[in-house]
Amino acid sequence: MDQNATLNGSIEQEFKDLDRGWVAAYLQGTTELFDRVWADGFIFTSPFGQFTNKEQEIADIGSGDLAFESLSTGDITVKVYGNTAVMAGRLTMKGHYKARDISGQYSYTNVLGRQQQESWRIVASHAAHISGNQFMY
């Protein structure tokens, strides 16, 4: 078997696991999962223009301010640049943030990093709402 194919398959599986990990972290609200997938210093830019960090996201989930009934991803693309990677995909969710219904479809971009031989972790994330009458170019 080609060694590059094995390496690429291994990296692809690692990113699939990471994607499942952040979805599970939001659905289960388990701090351990967040620590495993998000780097310290994680930054999230919400579709509504707010910036949050790892601690705030965990606090919002812990308090019930941010809650999901369902959350799934698809159409994922990953590009690796040394110890940095960019993951982009689509996200479908049903949930709320405080009193606001945030259900719908979104596109998202995660920037990932790793140091030495550590696992990949998400250092920054951005989500954008996909409207029904979207203009694509």
Query: Could you name the CATH architecture of 3-129?
Result: Roll (3.10)
Cα distance between residue 37 and residue 26, in whole Å: 11
Amino acid identity, residue 78?
V
- Residues 6 or more apart from 120 whose CB is under 8 A from it? 14, 15, 18, 85, 112, 113, 114
Q: Quick: pLDDT tens for 17-72.
A: 888 888 998 898 887 888 888 999 999 999 888 999 999 999 999 899 999 999 99
Q: Quick: pLDDT tens for 82-93.
A: 899 999 999 999
The predicted model scores a pTM of 0.83
Q: Quick: pLDDT tens for 120-136.
A: 999 999 999 997 544 44
Domain boundaries of the chain, sorted by first residue: 3-129
